[in-house]
């Protein structure tokens, strides 16, 4: 489960709609999202944005320096842009780009390694997070672990 505290409202609203439209697959979230009316989505999104999550730890601190490098510089040899270019230098996201700072290490690891299985399920209605598909695909497992370690410790 992701940490929603501090998350961008536009991102939360978009992802809830993606569950309803089955552009993202998750039976639990479909059951939650499809009963929310627009006012409820707005209220939840605004509530979560105001929370200030602190990192919970649990990731390998030895991997964080490599993760920071990828986050700030990308992987030019694999055409992977810096994570900071969309998620911000502090990892707090903006608008439709989600907050990564303080996100759970295991959540980031699972999402990046299983992107194709969970996102973009309805090719006729691509999710705005489709921009991440080639990035997630072009990162190695070691690079994903490093990025997950780095962002999980950001405050």
Buried b or exposed e, range 140-155, using 16+ CB within 10 angstroms: eeebbbbbbbbbbbbe
| Interval 24-62: pLDDT, tens | 888 899 999 999 999 999 999 999 999 988 998 889 999
CA distance 101 to 148: 10
Dig out the tokens for 153 from the structure.
Answer: 């410790």
How far is Cα 148 from Cα 64, in angstroms, rounded to an integer? 8
- Residue 21's pLDDT is what? 86
Report whether 151 contacts 60 (CB < 8 A).
no
Mean pLDDT of the chain: 90
Q: Taking residues 65-87, what's their average pLDDT?
A: 96
Grade residue 143 by pLDDT with cuts at 50, 70 and 90.
Answer: very high
User: What domains are there in the chain, each with its CATH number?
Assistant: 9-152 (1.10.760.10)
How far apart are alpha carbons 142 and 149 in whole angstroms?
11
pTM (predicted TM-score): 0.88
pLDDT at residue 76 greater than cutoff 90: yes
Measure the CA–CA gap between 74 and 81, rounded to whole angstroms.
4
Number of Cβ within 10 Å of residue 10's Cβ equals 17
- Tell me the helix, strand and coil percentages in the chain, rounded to 5: 55, 5, 40
Q: What is the DSSP letter of 37?
A: -
Q: What pLDDT was estimated at residue 41?
A: 95
Strand partners, 80: 75
Residues 16-27, buried b or exposed e (16+ Cβ, 10 A)? Answer: bbbbbeebbeee
Q: How confident is the model at residue 122 (pLDDT cuts 50, 70, 90)?
A: low
Of the given ranges (5-9, 27-31, 75-79), which has the lowest mean pLDDT? 27-31
């Amino acid at each position: 489960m992701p940490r929603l505290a501090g998350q961008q409202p536009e991102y939360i609203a978009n992802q809830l709609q993606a569950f309803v439209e089955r552009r993202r697959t998750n039976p639990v979230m479909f059951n939650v999202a499809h009963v929310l009316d627009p006012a409820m989505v707005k209220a939840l999104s605004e509530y979560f944005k105001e929370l200030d999550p602190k990192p919970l730890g649990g990731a390998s601190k030895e991997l964080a320096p490599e993760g920071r490098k990828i986050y700030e510089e990308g992987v030019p040899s694999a055409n992977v842009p810096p994570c900071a270019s969309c998620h911000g230098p502090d990892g707090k996201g903006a608008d439709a780009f989600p907050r990564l700072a303080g996100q759970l290490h295991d959540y980031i690891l699972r999402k990046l390694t299983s992107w194709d299985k969970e996102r973009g399920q309805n090719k006729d209605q691509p999710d705005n997070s489709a921009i991440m598909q080639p990035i997630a695909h072009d990162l190695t497992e070691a690079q994903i672990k490093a990025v997950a370690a780095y962002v999980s410790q950001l405050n």
